[in-house]
Amino acid sequence: MANPAHPGTEKERPSLTLRRHYRVSPDKVWRAWTDPQALKRWFGPDEIIAVPLAEVDLRVGGRFRVTMHAADGETHDVSGTYLELVPHRKLVFSWAWRSTPERQSRVTVRIEPDAEGCELVLMHEQFFDAAARDAHRHGWTGALVKLEGWLGQDQSQGNGRA
């Protein structure tokens, strides 16, 4: 909350918004974000070579956790709490890396149906600083490209679970 006695003293925290269109149903995109087995197949940017752990407790107040292994041997571990759920349309969750738990941010994923599939709008807000925002822009951009590939593979395999 801004300090009314000292206007402009509260630093606005950086955010980012990414949009992607997918030629699949909103239900498939929802599943990609909420099914642990699906998350293991696409989550993370290109330098992520494996996602050995994806846990989802899909309810308001429930938690998620994803552990990723990068090509350079580093392990990345992120988790958060679901704050809002609108099935097949919207997820809102907190986001914090295990290495910097004090730097909690907030992610909103909206899935908007249209005649040719759906648009995904990802808003990540309340970054610690611009460098964190820029690193996450790289990560999310790569992950959304991988999501598109996974959705295409999933589409070609029918309803089979990945």
6-48 pLDDT, tens digit each:
444 446 899 999 999 999 999 999 999 999 999 999 999 999 9
What CATH number does the domain located at 16-156 have? 3.30.530.20
pLDDT at 4: 47
42-88 pLDDT, tens digit each:
999 999 999 999 999 999 999 999 999 999 999 999 999 999 999 99
80-138 pLDDT, tens digit each:
999 999 999 999 999 999 999 999 999 999 999 999 999 999 999 999 999 999 999 99
For residue 157, pLDDT beyond 50: no
Separation of first and last alpha carbons in the chain: 44
Helices of type H across the chain: 26-34, 36-42, 130-156
Decide: residue 105, CB within 10 A, 0-12 exposed, 13-18 middle, 19+ buried: buried
Please report which confidence band the pLDDT of residue 153 belongs to, taking 50, 70 and 90 as the band edges. confident
Domain map (residue ranges) of the chain: 16-156
For residue 155, pLDDT beyond 70: no
Q: Which residue has the tokens 């914090």?
A: 96
pLDDT at 114: 96
pLDDT at 154: 60
pLDDT at 42: 97
Neighbours of 31 (CB within 10 A): 20
